[in-house]
Amino acid sequence: MRKALFRPLAHVAFLLALLLLGARPALAQSILRDAETEALLDDMAAPIVKAAGLDPDNVDIILVNDQSVNAFVAGGQAIYINAGLINEADTALQVQGVIAHEMGHITGGHIIGFSDGARAASNISILSLILGAAAAVAGGGEAAMGVIAAGQQAAMGKFLAFTRGQESAADLAGAKYLSGAGLSGRGSLEFFQKLQSLQRRHGYFAKEEDSFYSTHPLSRDRIATLEGVYEKDPAWQRPADPELQQRFLRMKAKLYGYQADPKDTLIAYPESDTSIPARYARAYAREKQALVPQSLAEADALLAAEPDNPYFLELKGQVLLEAGRAAEALTPLRRSVDISSNQPLIATLFGHALLETEDAANYPEAERVLRAAVARDRFNPSAWYMLGRIYADQGDTPRARLASAEQLMMSGQVAAALQNATAAEAGLPAETPDWLRAQDIKLEARAEIERQRKRK
């Protein structure tokens, strides 16, 4: 469901540029990382990924900090889901319908094929420019402009028809994968109906001819096509997984509490609601309001219901840590790390708390915890930053520079990463794993700098 462009654009080259840039939208957005959310999204996707013939361990589901209702693929085996889509969805099954659709883009090679559609459109546009130039030479200025405009309109139409074809193919592939996973297509249809309602609310496709300017088929046409497919599927009447739905409602509330204005959170989840999702949302809202006792009260109520829930323990530790009570945060965070089998993001928070105690006796444990975290999840800039602090405190400047290089690469500060990796390589023993990693970062940084230079 790459975002549709609902308005006509004056020049096909501009449209193609927008869409080509849109093939990598995550580069301009921040990624939201949370242990509970990532575990849930992976569990939601796993049966669909298997039905598509891929290994769930090789497919990433990534949450993007964007409030638009959108999901997309951007090359490789990764599906990006916007926070706005999670907020709009009512059920886990609806999100699974979106995941199945995006899997259709991955298995269909649509990002790779994207350039084929662009190339065909460009050929029409170039031809129109040649014909327009010929008309201009012959003295027909107005005719030349007409030829060019008509050519660009034809190019736009050809390209948009191509993308609509990809979307239709992804719809049918998604239906196949949901069936293979034993999941009802009801969620998929429900979400398309939501999209249709949003389009009507915002006045998109008020006229039939407006659909010419969309990268996607009309929602009503997609719904009509998929109804015929889903209602014949053996899984159509199968109920949703109640445990997965319960986890989804918790995650949705947690995300809303984290992102929304606290006043909005307290309207959506009033004090009278004592459910676990509501307490989750309010705990984050109260923390954002700097009402630490109220936030801790919600966390304690959650733990009273489920004392061994690692995510509730993580929440309490986070609230204490951000309130400047690092020493108190150690107990719930240490227990959360143990129960979650050293989940890297939780371990990183624990390492942070150990460092924030400013007690040198805690630093060796912090180093062990953080090294274990990055060994399992290298794409964790916070963990690398804190490891760099520890190495610097120990006087191990080369490894401090290496950790900084890792963190800077992930933060997009490529020139600084190259500088730190070069310094690290010079100070590390040759042929050691850290020395080799410093070389790798240098190569990655130089390649990215060259790409940036060519784009400019």
What is the per-residue pLDDT across 355-405, written as a single tens digit (0 to 9) for each?
999 999 999 999 999 999 999 998 899 999 999 999 999 999 999 999 999
- 445 versus 162: the higher-pLDDT residue is 445
- 217 versus 225: the higher-pLDDT residue is 225
pLDDT value at position 29? 58
Q: Of the candidates 199, 216, 168, 192, which has an alpha carbon nearest to the alpha carbon of residue 93?
A: 192
Given a contact cutoff of 8 angstroms between Cβ atoms, the answer to whether 91 and 187 are in contact is yes
The chain-wide mean pLDDT, for the chain, equals 82
Is residue 166 very low, low, confident or very high in pLDDT (cuts 50, 70, 90)? Answer: low
Strand partners, 242: none
Residue 302 reports pLDDT greater than 50: yes
Q: How do beta strands 60-64 and 71-73 pair? A: unpaired
pLDDT value at position 218? 55
Using CA atoms, how far residue 177 sits from 77, 80, 120, 166, in Å, is: 16, 18, 30, 16
Q: Determine the average pLDDT of the residues in 271-279.
A: 97
Following CA atoms 71, 75, 230, 190 in sequence, which dihedral angle do they give, to the nearest 10 degrees? 0
Query: What is the full DSSP assignment across 99-134?
Result: HHHHHHHHHTTHHHHHHHHHHHHHHHHHHHHHHHHH
d(CA 19, CA 12): 10
Buried b (16+ CB within 10 A) or exposed e, 189-211: bbbbebbbeebeeeebbeeeeeb
Residue labelled with tokens 């790390």: 337
359 half-sphere exposure, CB direction, 13 A CA radius: 10
What is the per-residue pLDDT across 324-354, written as a single tens digit (0 to 9) for each?
999 999 999 999 999 999 999 999 999 999 9
Q: What are the residue boundaries of the structural domains of the chain, listed by start?
A: 12-230, 396-456
d(CA 267, CA 176): 40
Is residue 125 very low, low, confident or very high in pLDDT (cuts 50, 70, 90)? Answer: very low
What is the per-residue pLDDT across 96-120, written as a single tens digit (0 to 9) for each?
999 999 999 898 875 544 445 444 4
Tokens of residue 195, six digits: 């999209």
Rg (CA), the chain: 26
- 110 versus 424: the higher-pLDDT residue is 424
Q: Determine the average pLDDT of the residues in 194-209.
A: 63
Q: Determine the average pLDDT of the residues in 64-79.
A: 87
pLDDT value at position 308? 97
Q: Of the candidates 324, 269, 315, which has an alpha carbon nearest to the alpha carbon of residue 295?
A: 315
Residue 425 reports pLDDT greater than 60: yes
pLDDT value at position 200? 72
pLDDT value at position 318? 97
pLDDT value at position 40? 97
Range with lowest mean pLDDT among 93-107, 123-137, 235-249, 442-456? 123-137
Residue labelled with tokens 């638009």: 68
pLDDT value at position 288? 94
Tokens of residue 51, six digits: 């039905």
pLDDT value at position 204? 52
pLDDT value at position 414? 94
Burial class (CB in 10 A: 0-12, 13-18, 19+), 248: buried
What is the per-residue pLDDT across 404-414, written as a single tens digit (0 to 9) for each?
999 999 888 99
Amino acid at 212: F
pLDDT value at position 169? 82
Decide: helix, strand or coil at residue 166. Answer: helix
Q: Of the candidates 230, 158, 133, which has an alpha carbon nearest to the alpha carbon of residue 190?
A: 230
d(CA 120, CA 20): 14
Is residue 195 very low, low, confident or very high in pLDDT (cuts 50, 70, 90)? Answer: confident
Is residue 75 very low, low, confident or very high in pLDDT (cuts 50, 70, 90)? Answer: confident
Q: Determine the average pLDDT of the residues in 198-219.
A: 53
d(CA 420, CA 405): 5
Q: What share of the chain is helix, strand, coil (3-state, %, to 5)?
A: 75, 5, 25
Residues 6 or more apart in contact with residue 132 via CB below 8 angstroms:
144, 145, 147, 148, 151
Residue 133 reports pLDDT greater than 60: no
